[in-house]
Amino acid sequence: DAKTTQPPSMDCAEGRAANLPCNHSTISGNEYVYWYRQIHSQGPQYIIHGLKNNETNEMASLIITEDRKSSTLILPHATLRDTAVYYCIVIRGTSYGKLTFGQGTILTVHP
Amino acid sequence: EPEVTQTPSHQVTQMGQEVILRCVPISNHLYFYWYRQILGQKVEFLVSFYNNEISEKSEIFDDQFSVERPDGSNFTLKIRSTKLEDSAMYFCASRLTGDQETQYFGPGTRLLVL
């Protein structure tokens, strides 16, 4: 599975959009980009995933560049409850599904 | 919305004792996982389980660990003789199937070995 690189921390004001970047320059054609988050020591929570098209759900939007070497998770209106560690994970679609977590990005949403 | 559940939420045990951590995956899911997170560290994969057998395991998952699906709903992780370094959060996850790899995690069991 491709390696990912994320900034260690980011800040965002409540109500503003939070844009979390992820580099995955070695991604291959059958690998998906997944985003999870972990609030305190709770279980990782699935947010969104994509292959090559941009995706949107009730939680977030995922923008994947045309060359697929990077992506951005967008939380459109961040709240204090979005303060968490955000993980970008790349995984092959045909594997048994082991997730390899990095250090992620600590997002702090300020009032 | 269906969710993965885990019991107990907290467990304290003495070094050398056996512990069993329990998970109830989402009911129609077919792939099951255990992960652990030592305090302040990354979430680490332990083992994946499919079709009643281990499909992949990490170096952490040594002979002290075992997994079982004793019935149609539970998925357990047993640590035979706990060590201090086994103290961690243990997360169970499950996945339906197919080429979409969305795993859903439970809330975790905090294990403290004294």
Q: Where residue A81 falls among pLDDT bands split at 50, 70, 90?
A: very high
The pairs formed by A22-29 with CB atoms below 8 angstroms and a separation of 24 or more are: A22/A70, A22/A71, A22/A72, A22/A73, A22/A88, A23/A69, A23/A70, A24/A68, A24/A69, A24/A70, A24/A71, A24/A88, A24/A90, A25/A69, A25/A70, A26/A2, A27/A2, A27/A68, A27/A69, A27/A90, A28/A2, A28/A92
Q: Hey, are the CB atoms on A98 and B31 less than 8 Å from each other? A: no
DSSP of chain B, one letter per residue? ----EEE-SEEEE-TT--EEEEEE--TT--EEEEEEE-TTS-EEEEEEEETTEEEEE-TT--TTEEEE--SSS-EEEEESS--GGG-EEEEEEEE--SS----EE---EEEEE-
Q: Where residue B26 falls among pLDDT bands split at 50, 70, 90?
A: very high
Q: Write down the pLDDT at residue B114.
A: 97
Q: Which residues of A touch B (CB under 8 A)?
A: 32, 34, 38, 41-46, 49, 87, 91, 93-103
Size of interface A-B (CB pairs under 8 A): 65
The model's pLDDT over B50-63, given as tens digits with 9 standing for 90+, comes to 989 999 999 999 99
Minimal CA–CA distance to B93: which of B106, B74, B102, B109?
Answer: B106
Q: Is the pLDDT of residue B64 over 90?
A: yes
The model's pLDDT over A9-45, given as tens digits with 9 standing for 90+, comes to 999 999 999 999 999 999 988 889 999 999 988 999 9
Q: Hey, are the CB atoms on A95 and B101 less than 8 Å from each other? A: yes
Task: Return d(Cα A89, Cα B89) in angstroms, integer.
Answer: 20
Q: Hey, are the CB atoms on B101 and A102 less than 8 Å from each other? A: no
The mean pLDDT of B38-66, rounded to a whole number, is 94
Q: Is the pLDDT of residue B100 over 80?
A: no
The mean pLDDT of A55-68, rounded to a whole number, is 96
Q: Is the pLDDT of residue B28 over 90?
A: no
